[in-house]
């Protein structure tokens, strides 16, 4: 085959590939329109709404990022009427506890960490079971978890990680919202290494929750602000 013929064939193949890619893009855009997301959400559309304006957490954070770029605001400025709240299963938490947000996932600090740096990564859409996540949500959840895990391991001077999902009541899940536990691990943090799973089993149980052991909103916000800086 001459160089010219090869070039023509390669160019034609590339053109076909680009057309196929465009077709896939159109199909994807059609599949995941806002209307489709509302219909397919199962538990309803995203519950993360600013109570006053109806803005989602993602929209609130996007505005905050834009304001920060202009030098007019920071993450810490999200307070009062501008402070979004979000639903984490049956719980309502402040957006100040969130330290990383993507279009489909978010990461938040823990009100009762099992070990220092114990954080949670969740899908934005309120979904109870892992099997009910869409493929794009699964991909984003694990990519976000990987990013968060690497950051907290280094930040808390750990040497290993425990990453776990409690999927269903028999697995210890009581918060009806898929969430990934990310726990930085150090030598000797538990007398028996597997004891951490016993702690996770009772972590979310409301019957064993003692409010005095919960961290204050101020403590959680302080840690979230600190972790947020790792991704800026």
**Annotated catalytic sites, by residue?**
179
Q: Is 193 marked as a binding-site residue?
A: no
DSSP state, 158? Answer: -
What are the structure tokens assigned to 70, written together?
Answer: 């202009």
Query: Exposed e or buried b for every residue in 60-79, given b needs 16+ CB within 10 A?
Result: bbeebeebeeeeebebeebe
d(C-alpha 36, C-alpha 45), whole Å = 10
Q: Is 36 marked as a binding-site residue?
A: no
Q: Is 91 marked as a binding-site residue?
A: yes
Q: Is 110 marked as a binding-site residue?
A: yes
Q: Is 174 marked as a binding-site residue?
A: yes
Q: Is 172 marked as a binding-site residue?
A: yes
**Contact in structure between 178 and 129 (CB atoms under 8 Å):** yes
Q: Is 173 marked as a binding-site residue?
A: yes
**Contact in structure between 104 and 98 (CB atoms under 8 Å):** no
The 3-state secondary structure of 185-232, one letter per residue:
ECCCCCCCCCHHHHHHHHHCCHHHCCHHHCCCHHHHHHHHHHHHHHHC
DSSP state, 181? Answer: E
**Contact in structure between 153 and 123 (CB atoms under 8 Å):** no
- Annotated binding site for substrate: which residue ranges? 91, 110, 166, 172-175, 181
- Annotated binding site: which residue ranges? 91, 110, 166, 172-175, 181
């Amino acid at each position: 085959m001459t160089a010219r013929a090869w070039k023509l064939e390669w160019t034609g193949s590339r053109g076909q590939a680009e057309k196929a890619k465009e077709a896939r893009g159109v199909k994807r855009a059609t599949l995941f329109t806002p209307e489709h997301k509302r219909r397919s959400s199962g538990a309803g559309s995203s519950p993360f709404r600013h109570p006053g304006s109806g803005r989602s957490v993602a929209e609130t954070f996007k505005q905050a990022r834009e304001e920060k770029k202009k030098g007019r605001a920071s993450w810490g400025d999200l307070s009062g009427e501008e402070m979004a709240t979000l639903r984490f299963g049956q719980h309502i938490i402040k957006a100040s506890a969130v330290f990383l947000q993507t279009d489909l996932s978010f990461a938040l600090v823990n009100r009762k960490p099992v070990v220092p740096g114990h954080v949670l990564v969740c899908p934005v859409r309120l979904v109870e079971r892992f099997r009910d996540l869409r493929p794009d949500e699964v991909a984003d959840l694990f990519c976000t978890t990987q990013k968060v895990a690497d950051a907290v391991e280094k930040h808390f001077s750990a040497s290993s990680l425990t990453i776990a999902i409690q999927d269903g009541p028999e697995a210890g899940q009581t918060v009806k919202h898929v969430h990934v536990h990310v726990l930085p691990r150090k030598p000797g943090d538990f007398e028996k290494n597997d004891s951490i799973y016993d702690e996770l089993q009772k972590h979310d149980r409301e019957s064993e929750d003692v409010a005095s052991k919960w961290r204050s909103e101020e403590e959680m916000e302080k840690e979230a602000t600190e972790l947020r800086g790792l991704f800026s």
